[in-house]
Amino acid sequence: MPSGEYDPDTVEAKWQDRWVDDETYAYEGAADPDTAFSIDSPPPTVSGSLHWGHVYGFTLQDFVARFNRMRGKEVYFPFGYDDNGIASERLAEDELDVRHQDYERREFQRMTQEVCAEYEAEFTEKMQDLGISIDWNQTYQTISPAVRRISQLSFIDLYEQGREYRQRAPAIWCPECETAISQVETEDDEQPSHFHDIAFEVVGSGDEDEEEFTISTTRPELLPACVAVFVHPDDDENQYLVGETARIPLFDQEVPILEDERVDMETGSGVVMCCTFGDQTDIEWYQAHDLDLRIAIDESGTLTDVAGEYEGLSSEEAREAIVEDLDDAGALLDRWEITHTVNVHERCGTGVEFLVKDQWYVELLDKREEYLQAGREMDWYPEKMFTRYRNWIEGLQWDWSISRQRSSGIPFPVWYCAECDEPVLSEKENLPVDPLSDEPPVDACPECGHDEFEPEDDVFDTWATSSLTPLINAGWDWDGEEFTFENPELYQFDLRPQGHDIISFWLFHTVVKCYEHTGEVPFDSVMINGMVLDENREKMSKSKGNIVAPDEVVSKYPVDAARYWAAGSAVGDDLPYSEKGLRAGEKLLRKLWNASKLVESLTDEAPEEFDHDDLAALDRWLLAELDREIERLTERFADREFSKARDGLRGFFWHTFCDDYLEIAKQRVRDGGDPSAAYTLEVAHRRFLKLFAPILAHATEELWHDMHGDGSVHRTEWPEPLGVDADFAAGETAMAVVGALRKYKSDEQLPMNAALDRVEIWGDVSGFEDDISGVMHVEELATLEERPAVESVVTGVDLDYSLVGPEFGSQVPDIEAAIEAGDYEVVDGELHAAGAELGAEMFEIEEERQYLGEGEMVEAGDAIVVVHDEA
Ligand SMILES: [Zn+2]
Ligand SMILES: [Zn+2]
């Protein structure tokens, strides 16, 4: 039985433990896809701290999970850790203060996994402290042998389907992380830089004929990599250069001057250099014009021997040195500061380079339309997020490079013939393999018969594995004949929840992979959550110092209050941090607790059953109203309109149930043990706990156990409407009448059970007369046929001074005095006072309803109540 004040600290911790110990949210298996509700929850990378992205995202997923569980679905809500990528490697490097290059690969992997294991254990506890209804039996790690197997199977399957290729081609490269990265891992960053005007010579027939032209560039350190110079075909001014040869200052290589439409005539002189490689256009020119390859910058961003005396310098050092030497040589014509957009690695912020490397690619560009169509087949919450998916696909310029030159990660199950470079893939049965320690499945090269092989020592891009989460969760495997699922009922997944920032990374790549492996779109629906912002709707960041850590919040407020606040924004919108929202959650918890205590005290003798036809009209009305709220709420939860669901239910509970009905029912039960009221309270209360359960998960569980049953409220059935009939309008009017009479008694300082001689009502309360009389102790209740004589009396005039002031100036005091004295008229909507005529927009007449008959009138919404009370 609930008693005392609500104590969330004790209650929440107790249930968080019990839910885990009792396996309250365990997936029990489902006969078919219709009964299963599967969630492909996002596996966080382990970094130790809990971010808002986790807390907010998982809380929204939890609303969906809890709602569907109560709706009779077997909910599969797993949890994974994405611990095979650069993030884990970086975590281990930071934690142990080491560099991965200094260790043998297996040794470093072991160290990384140890560090991750500690962080994961801590993170799991934090997740459990949030009360998310995850099934902790269903967990995975992307570095585990089982996932390595699936990831390598995926590689082999795509290869066999002809969807992968290995190519020596320019790849996007991060010189800081020293690995190839994919387009999706880059972002644009505004950075300060310098523009340099550099004089290039035209190589002529003789020294006297030499001419010069100007190239503008932000990257003079690429001069040694220059392989051509380009002019736009429409550039009349520089057209004379086309067909000539240019000599590069300091480095002296001679390169052709060509024309190409990709030249941006607006930048600098309109003459540009092409280096291998400075940007995407350089790569296109290199391919289109079959240019030389001059690699001046290596994997670590250091200049190569192509750069001559600058070899060994970092690209920044080289830039400074080259600019200085250009200046000395008289070739630096100008230099000025600019801010420009640099394509950087999103993880470390380093400007990307382009290197020619052997890389594995998943083909994407040829199937853009199909992947777009796959996106259209999923339901998007909110719908507008589909645009981001579409924009990403429409902007794709590269196939997906999946090779990474890192220590940690899942190895390619590939060896190459030492003679002819033919790739040899592992047998699917043998996976997972590590080609660095395992032998290839053949003794001789199938192409040339040679018997020596080189292992592939690259690893997969993290997204190549995390894009398989639906397959990991459903137990995808190769049985020797075909691909199978351990839990086929889970696939396709009912829900993919995730942040909007990884639509291009995670969602797109998951669609591609799963679609290619199964021929099916992996998700029925996608739910995209926004970000948590600060109270001023600004992005939280370390530099701004406006971060409020989730840990702090849940140590200060009940988790249920945080859940309440998290429900307060539309799916997909950003959620501003709000103390007010958290306090509103706390207040609701107290209200629910205190109302429950009251219900408990009133329902000791409540009958277990009651014929609904015999219920008092007010009780029928409440249950019928509750039916309507259940219908609304169910629809809103199903549509993932959490804030509407929350606000609607809160309003109904707080006002209709607590303020109106509960007060009346309390009086009825206390006055005479009214069984109809007691029964209704009991039924309604059970229903309210269930309806609140998805949001206020802990408090409802505590109250449910205290008052209604032993099992978890989260395993009970979601309430269906009872189908009780009632006259809604009359019931609402009756409520208003009772409310008005309560206010009357309170204003007159009468006890609530004081008798009232006679009450007259103008308004439809038919069927509710006895309830009103009973609860308000009315001796004689009459309904009026005619509206009582209520008149509108003008009580004043409200002037809009922003208009009246400028128009009438010094006349205003006279106008005010005339109005005060009642010496004015309204003619055709204009106010005439003190000789002035004020237009309709300048004033408003204030009116009050006054009752001029016998007795006292009290307002009751649209109804009018007249109280005749001799006492
Ligand atoms: Zn990087
Ligand atoms: Zn061979």
Q: How far is the CA of 345 from the centre of ligand 1 (A)?
A: 5
Q: How far is the CA of 290 from the centre of ligand 2 (A)?
A: 29
- Range of weakest confidence among 217-221, 493-497, 548-552, 592-596: 548-552
**Whole-number percent of the chain with pLDDT over 70:** 99
pLDDT exceeds 90 at position 807: no
Which residues pair with residue 357 across a beta bridge? 169
Q: How far is the CA of 178 from the centre of ligand 1 (A)?
A: 7
- Mean pLDDT for the chain? 92
Give, as residue ranges, everything with CB less than 5 Å from ion ligand 2: 417, 419-420, 422, 445, 447-448, 450
Q: How far is the CA of 179 from the centre of ligand 1 (A)?
A: 8
- Nearest Cα to Cα of residue 19 among 713, 719, 716: 713
Q: What's the start-to-end Cα distance of the chain, in Å?
A: 42
For the stretch 570-613, pLDDT in tens is 899 999 999 999 999 999 999 999 999 999 999 999 999 999 99
For the stretch 655-706, pLDDT in tens is 999 988 998 899 889 888 899 999 999 999 999 999 999 999 999 999 999 9
Ligand nearest to the CA of 89: 1
Containing 529, the helix (H) or strand (E) segment is strand 525-529
Give residue 680's pLDDT.
97
Give residue 42's pLDDT.
95
Ligand nearest to the CA of 350: 1
- What own/partner pairs with CB < 8 Å and gap ≥ 24 does 647-652 have? 647/568, 649/691, 649/692, 650/588, 652/625, 652/626
For the full predicted model, state whether its pTM sits above 0.85: no
Q: How far is the CA of 348 from the centre of ligand 1 (A)?
A: 4
Give residue 138's pLDDT.
96
Ligand nearest to the CA of 352: 1
Q: Read off the pLDDT of each residue in 628-644 and give the average, rounded to a whole number.
A: 97
Pick 847 or 589 by higher pLDDT.
589
Q: How far is the CA of 385 from the centre of ligand 1 (A)?
A: 28
d(CA 505, CA 182): 10
Give the 3-state secondary structure of residue 485.
Answer: strand
Give residue 10's pLDDT.
96
For the stretch 139-190, pLDDT in tens is 999 999 999 999 999 999 999 999 999 988 788 899 888 888 887 788 899 9
- Range of weakest confidence among 230-239, 409-418, 488-497, 520-529: 230-239
Are 447 and 420 within 8 A, CB to CB? yes
In angstroms, the Cα distances linking 805 to 239, 344, 796, 808, 829 are 70, 59, 18, 6, 19
For the stretch 425-455, pLDDT in tens is 999 999 999 999 999 999 999 999 999 999 9
Q: How far is the CA of 288 from the centre of ligand 1 (A)?
A: 29
Highest mean pLDDT among 33-37, 401-405, 680-684, 805-809: 680-684
385 band by pLDDT with thresholds 50, 70 and 90: very high
Give residue 207's pLDDT.
55
775 band by pLDDT with thresholds 50, 70 and 90: confident
Q: How far is the CA of 437 from the centre of ligand 2 (A)?
A: 20
Q: How far is the CA of 529 from the centre of ligand 1 (A)?
A: 27
Q: How far is the CA of 105 from the centre of ligand 1 (A)?
A: 19
Ligand nearest to the CA of 186: 1
For the stretch 100-128, pLDDT in tens is 878 888 888 889 999 999 999 999 999 99
- Range of weakest confidence among 14-28, 584-598, 784-798: 784-798
Ligand nearest to the CA of 174: 1
Q: How far is the CA of 441 from the centre of ligand 2 (A)?
A: 14
Give residue 759's pLDDT.
95
d(CA 504, CA 185): 9
**Whole-number percent of the chain with pLDDT over 90:** 69
pLDDT exceeds 60 at position 205: no
Ligand nearest to the CA of 440: 2
Containing 454, the helix (H) or strand (E) segment is strand 453-455
Which residues pair with residue 200 across a beta bridge? 213
For the stretch 33-66, pLDDT in tens is 889 999 999 999 877 678 888 889 999 999 999 9
pLDDT exceeds 90 at position 268: no
Are 190 and 236 within 8 A, CB to CB? no
- Range of weakest confidence among 68-72, 129-133, 540-544: 540-544
pLDDT exceeds 70 at position 488: yes
509 band by pLDDT with thresholds 50, 70 and 90: very high
Q: How far is the CA of 567 from the centre of ligand 2 (A)?
A: 61
Q: How far is the CA of 355 from the centre of ligand 1 (A)?
A: 14
Ligand nearest to the CA of 422: 2
Pick 846 or 6 by higher pLDDT.
6
**Residue 227 token pair:** 């392989």
In angstroms, the Cα distances linking 557 to 65, 367, 562, 583, 622 are 23, 49, 7, 8, 33
Are 6 and 589 within 8 A, CB to CB? yes
Ligand nearest to the CA of 450: 2
Which residues pair with residue 274 across a beta bridge? 228
